[in-house]
């Protein structure tokens, strides 16, 4: 087995070989040197055809129309464009937004940006299992609410929100719903029509595509328009100007097409791995599950471990690529705000591990991870003055 063992698929995934082959071909073929916006000659039209094929492939995964997708640099940009773009375009109708304390930082910081400019933000706190009750969303709506932003699958705990119920509430109150689906796309079913989602953020590199490209779905019937954040050419309906990266967009399209084909198989594969690891970890005293025991995606398992110090724990797991929270949070070396919002103490939040699995993860790798965690915890607890229940 190759070391270190990679169990951080929620942060980023390896590029699928078929995606890599297509992107390499795009970069190597002289006829694809054209700018997709240069429709006056053959090279530009060939490049544009590849872009539009990819747009259709991405749209198919979420049951959207291709013309409702805007390509971006990733889900972070898509989140910013959705939240700030809607706010700026609709501020005459109201200046109130609803989101949750457990959202990705791209959503949190976009809302804070608006709060500094006079917008009122209602920050919903989930229950101890990480769930935001649809009734709590409805109770937070006000006459001047213009947008609710809630992620489908939490990037740290894997908890799945009831987006369909929340979408129905928002539609009934004529409030737009934005969903960050960076973790959910290709791992859980998404149907923007059935779930009544108005805006949805996507990322390629979470789904075996390249880094640096994503998309934003904008429902043309209910949203129609958001204010752009960047200015320049008229690309992407004027919402995201700049020369399109043909090879990256083609790679995203291929990745999403493969994900649609493999969804049932990959869901079963990751859930089996998650359950295998959790069954083993439960044999150790003082291991606490973070997030709802059932309403969670199969590719993430997040646990807190009592009786150990967080930094020492991760130092002891050098052979494993795992996370203490989101990749963004780890840069700040802080206790996970998501786990703190679920009621974990700062010490327990820092002594937490997020394991995340993908299509190439094996049962042998999961067993190796279980063995290494058990060894590290036993050793650290032998030096610790803290008592662990059942230990």
Structure tokens belonging to residue 59: 């749209």
What is the average per-residue pLDDT within 286-298? 97
Q: Residue holding tokens 């390249």?
A: 210
Whether residue 332 has pLDDT greater than 60: no
pLDDT of res. 144? 97
Query: What residue ranges define each of the domains in the chain, with the CATH number in brackets?
Result: 5-11+263-383 (3.90.1150.10), 17-258 (3.40.640.10)
Average pLDDT, the chain: 94
Secondary structure of residue 171 in the 3-state scheme: helix
12, 211 in Cβ contact below 8 A?
yes
Q: What element of type H or E holds 364?
A: helix 363-383
What is the average per-residue pLDDT within 169-191? 97
What percentage of residues in the chain have a pLDDT greater than 70?
96
pLDDT of res. 244? 94
pLDDT of res. 234? 82
Whether residue 153 has pLDDT greater than 90: yes
Active site residues: 328
Whether residue 227 has pLDDT greater than 60: yes
DSSP string, 74-122: SHHHHHHHHHHHHHHHHTTT--EEEEETTS-HHHHHHHHHHHTTT-EEE
CA pair distance 73, 80, nearest whole angstrom = 11
pTM for this entry: 0.95
43, 49 in Cβ contact below 8 A?
no
What is the average per-residue pLDDT within 45-58? 96
Residue of higher predicted confidence among 331 and 88: 88
Confidence class of residue 356 from pLDDT cuts 50, 70 and 90? Answer: very high
161-175, 224-238, 243-257: range with lowest mean pLDDT = 224-238
CA pair distance 63, 306, nearest whole angstrom = 43
Secondary structure of residue 268 in the 3-state scheme: helix
pLDDT of res. 389? 63
Confidence class of residue 166 from pLDDT cuts 50, 70 and 90? Answer: very high
Q: Is the preceding peptide bond at 4 cis, omega within 30 degrees of 0?
A: yes
pLDDT of res. 92? 94
Confidence class of residue 238 from pLDDT cuts 50, 70 and 90? Answer: confident
What is the average per-residue pLDDT within 50-62? 98
């Amino acid at each position: 087995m190759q070391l270190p063992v990679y169990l951080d698929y929620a942060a980023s995934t390896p590029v699928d070989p078929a995606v890599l082959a297509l992107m390499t071909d795009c970069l190597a073929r002289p006829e694809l040197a054209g700018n997709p916006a240069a429709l006056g000659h053959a090279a530009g039209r060939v490049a544009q055809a590849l872009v539009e094929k990819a747009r259709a492939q991405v749209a198919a995964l979420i049951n959207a129309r291709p013309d409702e997708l805007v390509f971006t640099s990733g889900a972070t940009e898509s989140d910013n464009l959705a939240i700030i773009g809607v706010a700026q375009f609709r501020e005459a109708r109201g200046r109130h937004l609803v989101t949750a304390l457990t959202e990705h930082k791209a959503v949190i910081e976009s809302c804070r940006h608006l709060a500094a400019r006079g917008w009122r933000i209602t920050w919903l706190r989930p229950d101890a299992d990480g769930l935001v009750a649809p009734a709590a969303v409805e109770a937070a709506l006000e006459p001047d609410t213009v947008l609710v932003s809630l992620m489908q699958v939490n990037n740290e705990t894997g908890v799945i929100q009831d987006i369909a119920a929340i979408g129905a509430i928002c539609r009934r109150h004529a409030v737009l719903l934005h969903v960050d689906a960076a973790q959910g796309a290709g791992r859980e079913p998404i149907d923007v029509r059935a779930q009544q989602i108005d805006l949805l953020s996507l990322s390629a590199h979470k789904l075996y595509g390249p880094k640096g490209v994503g998309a934003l779905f904008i429902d043309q019937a209910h949203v129609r328009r958001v204010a752009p954040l960047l200015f320049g050419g008229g690309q992407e309906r004027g919402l995201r100007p700049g020369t399109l990266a043909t090879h990256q967009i083609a790679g995203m399209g291929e990745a999403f097409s493969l994900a649609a084909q493999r969804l049932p198989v990959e869901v079963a594969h990751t859930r089996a791995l998650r359950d295998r690891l959790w069954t083993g970890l439960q044999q150790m005293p003082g291991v606490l599950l973070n997030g709802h025991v059932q309403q969670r995606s199969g590719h993430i398992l997040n646990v807190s471990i009592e009786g150990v110090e967080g930094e020492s724990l991760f130092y002891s797991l050098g052979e494993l690529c795992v996370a203490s929270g989101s990749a963004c949070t780890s840069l700040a070396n802080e206790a996970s705000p998501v786990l703190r919002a679920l009621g974990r103490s700062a010490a327990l939040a820092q002594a937490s591990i997020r394991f995340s699995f993908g299509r190439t993860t094996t049962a042998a790798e999961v067993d190796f991870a279980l063995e290494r965690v058990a060894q590290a915890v036993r050793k650290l607890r032998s030096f610790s003055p803290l008592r662990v229940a059942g230990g």
